[in-house]
């Protein structure tokens, strides 16, 4: 298999694609790996078996909810403590300069917002919120963390919520099998079932969110994909439509992606180096 092209030469091709065009950006988990949040299908993680919870499991099985919240209780501190990396900062700067129209993200870590980006559509929601399936009330995940800790004072957690490499997923799910004594906390208003305000597998993205993403897509003259394998259709659909409509597509990701055949330029290269070059060249 031939080696991927060198970053400088390939980046020149990407810059030529982007210059003079309004850019809409689509980001995936690979953008947050330098912030300590692993991806699902990157070179270091694609071998790790993952079995994300399904929406129907969470809604219909109380034991699965107990398991989810116990694991989230352990994993949440690492997600909450994560800080934007240089890639997030570059995108915020390019938005300020008017070089990008906005960001459609598959990530649920809020790092684009922390970096200062304003026009961000979160396709899959955000882990920093929870929603009651009964009354619809939204509240802060940090408050639920305190309530879960108070309800389960004897739970054996890693010191300061730390987890070892490979024990946490991008959705904050950490490796932990709770005992049957683990207590789940209900909605403070109605006592209903609380769910993270994210889109689980088997659940549909809200129509207004999808509409907002398509609005951003329509403003762009080129689509730039950063750090996504595009395995999930919710992200790939933008590449698919761009290719169908003749809109140029640039993809930067380590390893193959579902959209490689639709890409005008594909870079198999580290995001940090490429984004530094784009910041200087755009």
The torsion region of residue 102 among left (phi > 0), alpha (psi -120 to 50) and beta comes to left
Helix (H, G, I), strand (E, B) or coil at 143: helix
- Residue 151, CB half-sphere, CA atoms under 13 Å: how many? 16
Separation CA 272–CA 187 (nearest Å): 41
Residue 122's H or E segment, with its range, is strand 120-122
- Residue 24, CB half-sphere, CA atoms under 13 Å: how many? 22
Could you confirm whether 112 is annotated as catalytic?
Answer: no
| Residues 92 and 117 sit within 8 Å (Cβ to Cβ) | yes
138-140 and 125-132 beta bridge pairing: antiparallel
From the list 112, 113, 124, 240, the catalytic residue is 124
Separation CA 255–CA 43 (nearest Å): 7
Cα torsion 118, 121, 124, 129: sign: positive
Task: Please report, for residues 18, 45, 53, 119, 204, the alpha-carbon distance to residue 172 in angstroms, rounded to integers and kept in the order given.
Answer: 34, 15, 12, 24, 20
Separation CA 265–CA 11 (nearest Å): 9
Residues with catalytic roles: 124
């Amino acid at each position: 298999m031939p080696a991927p092209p060198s970053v400088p030469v390939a980046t020149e091709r990407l810059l030529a694609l982007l210059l003079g065009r309004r850019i809409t950006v689509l980001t995936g988990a690979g953008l947050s790996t330098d912030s300590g949040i692993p991806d699902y299908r990157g070179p270091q993680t694609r071998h790790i078996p993952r079995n994300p919870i399904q929406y129907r499991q969470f809604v219909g099985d109380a034991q699965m909810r107990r398991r989810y919240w116990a694991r989230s209780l352990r994993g949440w501190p690492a997600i909450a403590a994560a800080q934007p990396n240089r890639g997030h900062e570059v995108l915020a700067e390019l938005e300020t300069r008017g070089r990008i129209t906005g960001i459609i993200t598959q990530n649920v870590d809020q790092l684009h917002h922390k970096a200062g980006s304003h026009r961000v559509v979160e396709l899959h929601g955000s882990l920093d919120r929870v929603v009651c399936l009964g009354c619809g009330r939204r509240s802060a995940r940090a408050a639920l963390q305190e309530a879960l800790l108070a309800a389960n004072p004897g739970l054996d957690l890693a010191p300061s919520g730390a987890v070892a490499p490979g024990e946490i997923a991008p959705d904050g799910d950490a490796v932990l099998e709770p005992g049957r004594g683990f207590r789940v906390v209900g909605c403070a208003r109605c006592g209903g079932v609380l769910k993270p305000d994210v889109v689980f597998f088997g659940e549909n993205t809200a129509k207004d969110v999808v509409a907002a993403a398509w609005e951003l897509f329509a403003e762009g003259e080129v689509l730039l994909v950063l750090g996504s394998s595009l395995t999930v259709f919710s992200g790939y659909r933008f590449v698919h439509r761009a290719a169908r409509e003749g809109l140029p597509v640039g993809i930067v990701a380590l390893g193959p992606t579902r959209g490689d055949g639709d890409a005008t330029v594909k870079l198999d290269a580290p995001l940090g180096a490429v984004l530094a070059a784009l910041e200087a060249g755009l």
